[in-house]
Amino acid sequence: MTGGRRPGSRQRRCFKPHRLPPSPWPLSPDRRRALELLASCPREVHTLMLAPRLLEEDLKMNATPIIKSIEEFIAAVRKDSSDWDPNEPKWFRGEPKSNTSLVPTLYRKGLAQHENALLQTFRARASGYHDVVPIREHTDQWLFLARHAGLPTRLLDWSESALIGLYFALKQDSPVVWMLNPLALNDLSYGQPSAVREFPLVWHDPDPNWDPKRVGRRIWSRARPRKVNPAFENLRGAWENDVPGVLLPVAIHPTYVHSRLRSQRSCFTIHGKSKSGLNTLVPRSMLRGYVVDLASRRCMINELALLGITDSVVFPDLDGLASELEGRFLYSTTPGGGPTHLLAAPDSQEPE
């Protein structure tokens, strides 16, 4: 008898490994093969053999590290950014652990519908409270100054310094530090990798003469799309009732309108159409979070001071000096030692 199979015998089933799409998390070759096999296996194999083990590994891989010292923090940053270009910047932000992580104050406080009124009123009155203010048409500088003064905006504060990001986190009762790959974020926001690895000029409109009313006329018989600078579009959204803008935030460098921006090595992400937290909008491959152990908080504050990260360095003015001196003398009189507080300022990285 040829062909077929013997009566009563069971046919052996062979499964062709299913090819997985690109993963936002790093996968070893062996792990990728295992996951591809898992995706092509019957449901009973998922349940009985591979799924529990792989799920456990996934949880371990994606767990948020608990940091107990500055050495552990630097080691974790070095490890997690090992796949990033070492010549490109990394940005850091310190804030309290919350359900609204990486959400700009404007959205977290429910003031999005008042954004334009807040900015216009601030611009109209600021000259009466500050000696030097930007030119009226420099809307980017007005936005930076407003954020520096504590006005709720769509900007999210970051620093190019890992230790300054940690400094702001340690001001909180539940400290968290975030590390961002800003150029990778911009590639995602632009929809494609940029040929020139640099930050956009937030005030630059690449196509100022483009007129939608002329599209379709004879002189524009070959209508072309408008050239777009996503950073400029998100900036326009802040001043034009959220009409312009791209979907995702864009990483930008500010104009230093105050000495604190320089000393804190400040940089920003500017939100667009999506109002969600940045951690829900981008893959883990470009954004990592670190929780600081509360029991180690005071020791890490002392270590930062030893490394030169103090109130008067981060806030180079009389407020910073006064806070640093107060902490120094409280240190000498507090049982157990250690500074009892760090300066809280309106332009800090903590959510207001």
Q: Which of 56-70, 122-136, 267-281 shows the lowest per-residue confidence on average (mean pLDDT)?
A: 56-70
How would you class 202 by CB atoms within 10 Å of its CB: exposed for 0-12, middle for 13-18, buried for 19 or more? buried
Q: How sure is the predictor about 130, in pLDDT bands with cuts at 50, 70 and 90?
A: confident
> pLDDT value at position 58?
39
Give every CB contact of residue 179 below 8 A, 6+ residues apart in sequence.
Answer: 77, 80, 81, 90, 91, 92, 162, 165, 287, 288, 289, 290
Cα four-point dihedral sign 22, 24, 29, 32: negative
Give every CB contact of residue 129 below 8 A, 6+ residues apart in sequence.
Answer: none
How would you class 84 by CB atoms within 10 Å of its CB: exposed for 0-12, middle for 13-18, buried for 19 or more? middle
Residue with tokens 């690449």: 206
> pLDDT value at position 258?
87
State which H helix or E strand residue 33 sits in.
Answer: helix 29-40
Mean pLDDT of the chain: 81
Question: What mean pLDDT do residues 268-287 have?
Answer: 95
Cα four-point dihedral sign 172, 162, 88, 28: negative
Question: What mean pLDDT do residues 284-311 have?
Answer: 94
Is residue 250 pLDDT above 80, yes or no? Answer: yes
Condensed to tens digits (0 to 9), the pLDDT of residues 185-212 reads: 999 999 877 777 899 999 999 888 876 6
Residue with tokens 């998390």: 25
What percent of the chain lies above the pLDDT cut of 70? 72
Q: Which residues pair with 270 in a beta bridge?
A: 155, 250
Question: What mean pLDDT do residues 24-47 have?
Answer: 48
| CB-CB contact of 162 with 263 (8 Å) | no
Q: How many CB atoms lie under 10 A from the CB of residue 87?
A: 6
Q: How sure is the predictor about 46, in pLDDT bands with cuts at 50, 70 and 90?
A: very low
Look up residue 21 and give its amino acid. P
Q: How sure is the predictor about 65, in pLDDT bands with cuts at 50, 70 and 90?
A: confident
> What's the rounded Cα separation, in Å, for the pair 95 and 174?
8
Is residue 220 pLDDT above 70, yes or no? Answer: no
Look up residue 22 and give its amino acid. P
Helix residue ranges per DSSP H, 179-240: 182-190, 230-239
Residue with tokens 């940091």: 67
Residue with tokens 């524009």: 220
Q: Which DSSP category does 290 fall into?
A: E
